[in-house]
């Protein structure tokens, strides 16, 4: 006999109507779920928009400064003498070659770039300059002939309210200087000129204190011309593709952007929990109804599809709302991202949030994907509905209870898989994050069983402390563990995230603070204001001697910071020299070379920072190559030192060696060690009066001021992390509110029976709040081990793989207690409305069959 085949049936209008009305009838839960998804999507979109806007701003500024140049000539020392440029141009008949000197400046509180060019040489290469010259020849003449002049874009001129001939105040480092607007450049299409202050190269040299030198030569070359020129360049100069410089800088912030994205994904994960919770509740609540539908002939696939369709509708509404919130939050976040990049990487100006449709689609798509994934379990559960479920209502909970050990076992395996991934994934940051998420998901699967054990164990205690209500509250958790366990797990994950991130930030801050104390061995520091990217400017060479001669000064150390070329790109080089012998303040990771300081001072060894060693996978005894004025030179690594100052790595050589090999005798900083009984403030005043005679900007800071400023920058850096953590807590709060609401509303009938039996409104309120309190405390306690595990993973895996830093984990009782407190407060607040509602409800109405 031919067997009847049940074709996959579509959802019928009545099924869809039943579903739609279920969602609208339970609008509180529906909306909480939508808000959960929306917040998750919003955080992801906001972070992505902020990241993309920062990257776009960076690319734009690189393009503006680079122009259409294909190649650039740079010097090992960071400075090319004017004469060398002229010789190269003539010797190699470089048709499209222009000297450039640029530096970050601030005008009216906003970051801009001072771009010093030779307008005549640059005109054939830069359409904007050529256009401006044609439109306003007089302006060009003023720019070339008048000192301290600059040209602004129309946008910036309008923003500043400046006209041709007006003086504007320009901050260069810590020095303010009045410069006159010589011309206003018409806006071009594409990248525009906003954010640029263009001056003649001679003006730039003068205002930046770099007379007689340029930073680089921009060129337009064919590949063949480039190859020929590269071979012919004198020692100490190198030709590189123009894009390389931007790429190298952009690489520096990659880990930072990735970490932000991961934080946003955490919020999305918590959002996924909410959806899972909501959909599971929806399925469990409707189990008898689903059984009835199965009796009527509705297929498993139809029920599966029905639940997924509901989730999809929630996700779509949530995604649309999330996109709108994401754009609004992104506008605030981009400022935080930019500020962090400015603080720890390089000067960057991002004027507007760039709303990239792709970011919106990515966020919305992720929201939809996570929602559908989260709804998959409940949908399968719905599809498993048996027609007999209609007849046996307690079956669901019984089956759920039986599943708990399996769920916990699966969770334990997932956690183990996460730990295994950490061990096997080498240095991959992405897999590190996957492992972190596996640990979170695995732990949350184990939680319902632990919550049941907790509730069962504490039932006598609750009874003893709070009487009948206490006992009923604890038993209520056990009786509906499939749902209460989920609510606790969602809250615990969110709180664990805050505990874990809190531990990571706390450990990091303590390590940085100790490192600063160890590294800053001088009492007073004198330095040239720097943009952090290049070693522009230098202190007068006679200054160290003058300072050393001051009574009360025990020793003077000198330093020069500059970026040098390695085979893997630019790296910060710190050249040190101390009048008291070898430099102090180094804490090495692992063993160092024998006879370290003698060989280092002889120029045989280079010291590398921990992030450098981690990123380039180099160790003591291995060799690295550096580009010097005499070409590539190889150095043996003598030691790997602890350094939280830069995540892109730092190299250290003796200053006398560096000065010769990079032809850079300049001095960036002086460290002053005082004699034991010398007053630092009094000495500061004396040095200040010494510096007052200098005709260049110089910064003087005490050891304490630098430490305070560094920690201030540290805290500022983590502001964005804290904001994201708050957003994740917000999502989690919505989750616990949604879960508790659903749980308490589902028990409306039980409560009605209790009320009908003689329980007062007050007793009912007490019962519900005790129950949510117990769940909150359970979540808080469970969040501690998970938070510690997350903190450990963030420090030992994520931080290391992202930035190359290692640090000991520091856990304070306050961090852990605040986690428990947060969970309890969130649960109690979330329980308030259900408690009030249940107490107000008329028992007769609640007792009616739905």
Q: Contact positions toward other proteins, by CB under 8 A?
A: 3-6, 9, 12-15, 17-22, 25, 288-289, 291-300, 386-388, 390-391, 848-850
CA gap 405, 449 in Å, rounded: 7
Q: What is the DSSP code (8-state) at residue 790?
A: H
Nearer to other proteins, 291 or 611 (CB): 291
**Least Cβ distance, residue 310 to other proteins (angstroms):** 12
CA gap 211, 201 in Å, rounded: 10
Nearer to other proteins, 298 or 830 (CB): 298
- β partners of residue 639: 607
Distances (CA, A) of 112 to 171, 198, 696: 10, 10, 21
**Least Cβ distance, residue 30 to other proteins (angstroms):** 13
Nearer to other proteins, 362 or 384 (CB): 384
Strands 605-609 and 631-641: parallel
Nearer to other proteins, 22 or 437 (CB): 22
**504 is written with which tokens?**
């990571």
Nearer to other proteins, 394 or 617 (CB): 394
Closest among 420, 508, 510 to 794, alpha carbons compared: 508
**Least Cβ distance, residue 33 to other proteins (angstroms):** 17
**Least Cβ distance, residue 378 to other proteins (angstroms):** 17
**353 is written with which tokens?**
């949030």
CA angle 322, 337, 32 (to 5 degrees): 20
Q: What is the DSSP string of 693-731?
A: T-SS--EEEEHHHHHHHHHHHHHHHTHHHHHHHHHHHHH
**Least Cβ distance, residue 285 to other proteins (angstroms):** 11
Residues in the chain: 850
Nearer to other proteins, 210 or 294 (CB): 294
Nearer to other proteins, 19 or 738 (CB): 19
Task: Quote the crossing angle between the two packed helices 719-746 and 761-793, to the nearest 10°.
Answer: 140
Q: Residues 6 or more apart from 550 whose CB is under 8 A from it? A: 683, 686, 687, 690
**Least Cβ distance, residue 391 to other proteins (angstroms):** 7
Residue written as tokens 């599971």? Answer: 280
CA gap 37, 318 in Å, rounded: 5
Q: Residues 6 or more apart from 240 whose CB is under 8 A from it? A: 71, 72, 74
CA dihedral 79, 84, 86, 87 (to 10 degrees): -160
Nearer to other proteins, 2 or 693 (CB): 2
Q: What is the DSSP code (8-state) at residue 7?
A: P
End-to-end CA distance of the chain: 44
CA gap 563, 496 in Å, rounded: 41
**Least Cβ distance, residue 729 to other proteins (angstroms):** 34
Nearer to other proteins, 291 or 442 (CB): 291
Nearer to other proteins, 278 or 609 (CB): 278
**Least Cβ distance, residue 5 to other proteins (angstroms):** 7
Nearer to other proteins, 292 or 684 (CB): 292
Give me the phi and psi of 166, to 5 degrees please.
-75, 150
**Least Cβ distance, residue 16 to other proteins (angstroms):** 10
**Least Cβ distance, residue 385 to other proteins (angstroms):** 11
**Least Cβ distance, residue 835 to other proteins (angstroms):** 25
CA gap 152, 59 in Å, rounded: 20
Closest among 401, 366, 386 to 484, alpha carbons compared: 401
**Least Cβ distance, residue 4 to other proteins (angstroms):** 5
Nearer to other proteins, 19 or 773 (CB): 19
Residue written as tokens 């500024």? Answer: 61
**739 is written with which tokens?**
């879960």
CA gap 237, 230 in Å, rounded: 9
**Least Cβ distance, residue 314 to other proteins (angstroms):** 16
**Least Cβ distance, residue 750 to other proteins (angstroms):** 18
Q: What is the DSSP string of 806-819?
A: -------HHHHHHH
Give me the phi and psi of 701, to 5 degrees please.
-140, 145
**Least Cβ distance, residue 843 to other proteins (angstroms):** 17
* Burial bucket for residue 453 (CB in 10 Å: 0-12, 13-18, 19+): middle
Nearer to other proteins, 84 or 401 (CB): 401
Is residue 563 within a helix (H) or strand (E), and if so which, with residue range? strand 553-566
CA angle 709, 701, 506 (to 5 degrees): 25
Nearer to other proteins, 757 or 845 (CB): 845
CA gap 621, 638 in Å, rounded: 6
**Least Cβ distance, residue 759 to other proteins (angstroms):** 25
Nearer to other proteins, 9 or 167 (CB): 9
Nearer to other proteins, 126 or 286 (CB): 286
CA gap 800, 751 in Å, rounded: 52
């Amino acid at each position: 006999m031919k067997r009847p085949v049940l074709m996959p049936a579509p959802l019928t209008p009545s099924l869809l109507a039943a579903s739609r009305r279920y969602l609208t009838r339970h609008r509180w839960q529906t909306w909480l779920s939508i808000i959960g998804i929306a917040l998750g999507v919003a955080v992801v979109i906001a972070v992505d928009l902020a990241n993309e806007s920062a990257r776009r701003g960076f690319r734009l500024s690189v393009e503006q400064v680079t122009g259409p140049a294909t190649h650039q000539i740079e010097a090992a020392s960071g400075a090319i003498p004017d004469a060398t440029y002229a010789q190269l141009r003539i010797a190699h008949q470089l048709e499209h070659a222009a000297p450039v000197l640029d530096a970050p400046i601030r005008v009216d509180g906003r970051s801009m770039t001072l771009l010093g060019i030779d307008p005549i040489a640059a005109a054939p290469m830069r359409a904007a300059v050529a256009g401006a010259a044609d439109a306003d020849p007089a302006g060009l003449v003023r720019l070339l002939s008048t000192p301290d002049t600059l040209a602004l874009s129309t946008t910036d001129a309008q923003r500043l309210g400046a006209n041709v001939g007006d003086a504007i105040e320009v901050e260069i480092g810590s020095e303010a200087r009045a410069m006159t607007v010589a011309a206003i450049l018409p806006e071009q299409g594409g990248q525009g000129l906003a954010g640029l202050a263009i001056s003649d190269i001679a003006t730039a040299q003068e205002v930046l204190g770099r007379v007689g030198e340029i930073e680089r030569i921009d060129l337009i070359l064919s590949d063949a011309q480039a190859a020929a020129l590269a071979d012919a360049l004198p020692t100490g100069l190198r030709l590189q593709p123009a894009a390389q410089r931007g790429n190298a800088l952009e690489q520096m912030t990659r880990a930072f952007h990735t970490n932000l994205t991961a934080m946003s994904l955490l919020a999305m994960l918590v959002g996924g929990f909410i959806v899972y919770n909501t959909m599971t509740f929806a399925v469990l609540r409707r189990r008898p109804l689903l059984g009835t539908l199965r009796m009527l002939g509705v297929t498993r696939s139809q029920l599966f599809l029905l639940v997924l369709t509901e989730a999809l509708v929630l996700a779509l509404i949530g995604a649309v709302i999330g996109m709108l919130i994401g754009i609004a939050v992104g506008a605030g976040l981009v400022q935080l991202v930019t500020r962090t990049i400015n603080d720890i990487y390089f000067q960057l100006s991002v004027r507007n949030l760039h709303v990239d449709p792709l970011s919106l689609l990515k966020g919305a798509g992720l929201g939809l994907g996570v929602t559908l994934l989260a709804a998959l379990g409940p949908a399968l559960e719905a599809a498993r509905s048996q027609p007999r479920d209609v007849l046996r209502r307690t079956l669901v909970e019984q089956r759920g209870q039986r599943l708990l050990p399996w769920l916990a076992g699966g969770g334990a395996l997932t956690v183990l898989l996460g730990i295994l991934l950490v061990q096997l994934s080498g240095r991959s940051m992405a897999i590190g994050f996957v492992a972190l998420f596996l640990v979170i998901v695995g732990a949350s699967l184990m939680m319902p069983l632990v919550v049941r054990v907790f509730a069962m164990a504490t039932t006598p205690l609750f009874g003893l402390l709070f009487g009948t209500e206490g006992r009923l509250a604890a038993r209520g958790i056990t009786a509906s563990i499939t749902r209460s366990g989920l609510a606790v797990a969602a809250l615990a994950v969110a709180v664990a995230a805050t505990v874990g991130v809190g531990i990571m930030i706390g450990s990091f801050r303590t390590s940085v603070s100790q490192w600063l104390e160890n590294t800053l061995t001088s009492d007073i520091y004198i330095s040239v204001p720097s943009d952090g990217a290049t070693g522009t400017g230098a202190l007068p060479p006679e200054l160290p001697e003058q300072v050393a001669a001051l009574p009360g000064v025990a020793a003077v150390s000198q330093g020069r910071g500059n970026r040098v070329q390695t085979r893997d790109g630019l790296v910060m080089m710190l050249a040190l020299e101390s009048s008291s012998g070898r430099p102090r303040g180094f804490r090495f990771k692992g063993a160092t070379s024998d006879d370290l300081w003698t060989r280092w001072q002889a120029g045989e060894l280079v010291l590398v920072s921990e992030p450098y060693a981690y990123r380039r996978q180099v160790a003591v005894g291995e060799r690295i190559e550096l580009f010097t004025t005499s070409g590539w030179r190889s150095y043996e690594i003598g030691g790997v030192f602890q350094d939280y100052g830069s995540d892109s790595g730092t190299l250290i050589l003796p200053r006398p060696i560096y000065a010769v090999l990079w032809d850079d005798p300049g001095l960036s900083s002086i460290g002053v060690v005082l004699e034991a009984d010398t007053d630092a403030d009094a000495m500061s005043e004396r040095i200040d009066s010494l510096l007052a005679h200098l005709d260049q900007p110089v910064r003087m800071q005490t050891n304490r001021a630098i430490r305070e400023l560094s920690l201030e920058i540290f805290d500022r850096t983590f502001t964005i992390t804290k904001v994201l953590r708050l957003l994740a807590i917000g999502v989690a709060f919505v989750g616990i509110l949604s879960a508790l609401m659903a749980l308490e509303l589902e028990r409306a009938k039980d409560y009605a029976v209790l009320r009908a039996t003689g329980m007062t409104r007050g007793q009912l309120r007490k019962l519900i709040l005790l129950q949510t309190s117990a769940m909150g405390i359970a979540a808080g306690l469970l969040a501690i081990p998970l938070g510690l595990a997350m903190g450990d993973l963030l420090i030992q895996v994520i931080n290391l793989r992202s930035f190359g830093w290692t640090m000991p984990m520091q856990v304070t009782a306050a961090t852990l207690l605040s986690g428990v407190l947060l969970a309890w407060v969130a649960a109690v607040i979330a329980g308030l409305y259900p408690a009030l509602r249940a107490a107000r409800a008329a028992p007769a109405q609640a007792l009616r069959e739905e």
